[in-house]
A and B are shown apart, each in its own frame.
Chain A
Amino acid sequence: MNRLHQLAINDEGFIFDPLTGENFTVNRTGLFIINRLKEGKKEEEILQELIDEFNVSREVAERDLIDFLEKLKSYRII
């Protein structure tokens, strides 16, 4: 089940799921990723944007992205 499209996300990284009433917070990187996922961007695209935006190596960006996607999966958000 993809719940991503329904999430209410604010600028500070507070996320509310109107279907379940669950809420959680994400950091700046997480917010950056989740907003792009919501826009329908592909992982490869997001990875490149992460590298550009945060000035990090491909390895670091990739690890962060994979970790975060795993988290989202464990919360059944994607």
Chain B
Amino acid sequence: MKLKIGISGINAVDNPGPGVGVAKSIKEDKELSAKIVGLSYDAMEPGNYMKWIIDKSYILPYPSADHNTYLNRLYYIRENYGLDFVMPVLDAELPLYLKYQKELEKNGIKTFLPTLEQFKLREKDKLEEVAKNIGIETPKSEVVNSYDELVKAVEKLGLPVMVKGVFYKAYRAYTVQEAVSFFNKIVAEWGYPVILQQVVSGEEMNVVAAGDGEGNSLGMIAIKKMWITELGKIWTGITIKNDNLLNSAKRFIEVYGWKGAFELECIVDLNNNKIYLIEINPRFPAWSYFSTGVGVNIASNIVRKAFDLPVKEYRDYPAGKLYIRYTDDFVVGIETFQKLITLGEN
């Protein structure tokens, strides 16, 4: 089967997109012998030049622009090169792909994504309920919609306190003044509501996994962050075997019938044996190749499931494996860049 798999987020920069790691994972499944179609938004995205991973590249219009233009671009790719499947990995794309997943499928492009209802679970004011249903905890939180509520929430939760948007941005405030200024910042950028959250301490541990939409896991691993960049991106990590953490990810898949890839970000308080759910990312994280590297190829399993190919069953993985991200450089001729600029593909 020679599948053509479209993958976005091939911006392998200091704030790395998840795409290149996902592409590497799919390439490593030799039985798929897939061709990778890089879906980029800028000619300068490094993945466009990494021919050993990305076989063919296209520039796409932004997903925030007219949806028809976006879909037509995908149909153009399907007709001219082939596009059997798309794995969107960027937050900004997901709403569009979720909305049009049926239409895409009708037009011969498969995806493997959560339903809109499942997707909403990532909203941070829903985390408390999710955590409860999967047997873990969340830091105490207050949803605030005004200055008065903010002040009350700070009184209740104490300082320091986390000030968060429903989708993105998290700031740690040490004073009421700071909390107010972060509150204003988030409202200006993202609107209401804002979430105030108790600061919890512990080890930051994450799970990457995928559900098959029928309550089964397509593979998962748990890791601890060892070294992060200023942007909070994992640069080194280590695999761990924390059964409570892995079981909560399993329950997440079972309870919600989650379909597709996801990441759970948790803070684990080892002294009190508590796991706090901090964030659900409804897509692959940038470090997802880590799981493939320890023998759990989640990305290829998603493709297998989507095409009714035999799914691999992953029961175990080794703890104590290290993830090392590094930067590299190489030199290419100007032709690739030229083609991307003039034709929008290469």
Taking a contact as CB atoms under 8 Å apart, the answer to whether A20 and B242 are in contact is yes
Taking a contact as CB atoms under 8 Å apart, the answer to whether B320 and A18 are in contact is yes
Docked pose: A19 CA to B244 CA in angstroms:
10
Closest residue of B by beta carbon distance from A3: B270
Q: Is B224 part of the contact surface with A, judged by Cβ < 8 Å? A: yes
Docked pose: A21 CA to B270 CA in angstroms:
11
Taking a contact as CB atoms under 8 Å apart, the answer to whether B240 and A19 are in contact is yes
Taking a contact as CB atoms under 8 Å apart, the answer to whether A21 and B226 are in contact is yes
Q: Is A71 part of the contact surface with B, judged by Cβ < 8 Å? A: no
- Taking the closest CB of chain B, its distance from the CB of A72, in whole angstroms, is 14
Docked pose: A76 CA to B272 CA in angstroms:
11
Write out, one digit per residue, whether chain B residues 195-215 have a CB within 8 A of any chain A CB (1) or not (0): 000000001010000000000
Q: Is B271 part of the contact surface with A, judged by Cβ < 8 Å? A: yes
- Known interface pairs A18-B319, A18-B320; A1-B240 also in contact (CB < 8 Å): no
Please classify the interface of chain B as helix (H, G, I), strand (E, B), loop, or mixed, using the class held by over half of its residues: strand
Taking a contact as CB atoms under 8 Å apart, the answer to whether A18 and B271 are in contact is no
Query: B224: which A residues are within 8 A, CB to CB?
Result: 20-21
Docked pose: A73 CA to B203 CA in angstroms:
18
Closest residue of A by beta carbon distance from B203: A20
Q: Is A16 part of the contact surface with B, judged by Cβ < 8 Å? A: yes
Closest residue of B by beta carbon distance from A17: B240
Docked pose: A33 CA to B270 CA in angstroms:
24
Q: Is A8 part of the contact surface with B, judged by Cβ < 8 Å? A: yes
Taking a contact as CB atoms under 8 Å apart, the answer to whether A18 and B270 are in contact is no
Q: Is B229 part of the contact surface with A, judged by Cβ < 8 Å? A: no
Closest residue of A by beta carbon distance from B205: A21
Taking a contact as CB atoms under 8 Å apart, the answer to whether A21 and B223 are in contact is yes
Please classify the interface of chain A as helix (H, G, I), strand (E, B), loop, or mixed, using the class held by over half of its residues: loop
Q: Is B241 part of the contact surface with A, judged by Cβ < 8 Å? A: yes
- Taking the closest CB of chain B, its distance from the CB of A10, in whole angstroms, is 10
- Taking the closest CB of chain A, its distance from the CB of B9, in whole angstroms, is 26
Q: Select one of B205, B268, B270, B320 contacting A8, CB under 8 A.
A: B320
Q: Is B64 part of the contact surface with A, judged by Cβ < 8 Å? A: no
Docked pose: A78 CA to B238 CA in angstroms:
23
Docked pose: A18 CA to B240 CA in angstroms:
5
- Known interface pairs A19-B242, A21-B223; A1-B319 also in contact (CB < 8 Å): no
Query: A76: which B residues are within 8 A, CB to CB?
Result: 270-271
Query: B80: which A residues are within 8 A, CB to CB?
Result: none
Taking a contact as CB atoms under 8 Å apart, the answer to whether A20 and B320 are in contact is no
Write out, one digit per residue, whether chain A residues 18-39 have a CB within 8 A of any chain B CB (1) or not (0): 1111100000000000000000
Taking a contact as CB atoms under 8 Å apart, the answer to whether B273 and A18 are in contact is no
- Sample of 12 more A-B contacts, CB < 8 Å, known A21-B240, A22-B203: A8-B319, A18-B240, A18-B320, A19-B241, A19-B242, A20-B240, A20-B268, A21-B223, A21-B238, A21-B239, A76-B270, A76-B271
Q: 10 closest A-B pairs (Cβ-Cβ)?
A: A21-B224, A18-B319, A21-B240, A18-B241, A21-B238, A16-B320, A19-B242, A20-B270, A18-B240, A18-B320
28 contacts between A and B (CB under 8 A): A1-B273, A8-B319, A8-B320, A16-B319, A16-B320, A18-B240, A18-B241, A18-B319, A18-B320, A19-B240, A19-B241, A19-B242, A20-B203, A20-B224, A20-B240, A20-B242, A20-B268, A20-B270, A21-B203, A21-B205, A21-B223, A21-B224, A21-B226, A21-B238, A21-B239, A21-B240, A76-B270, A76-B271
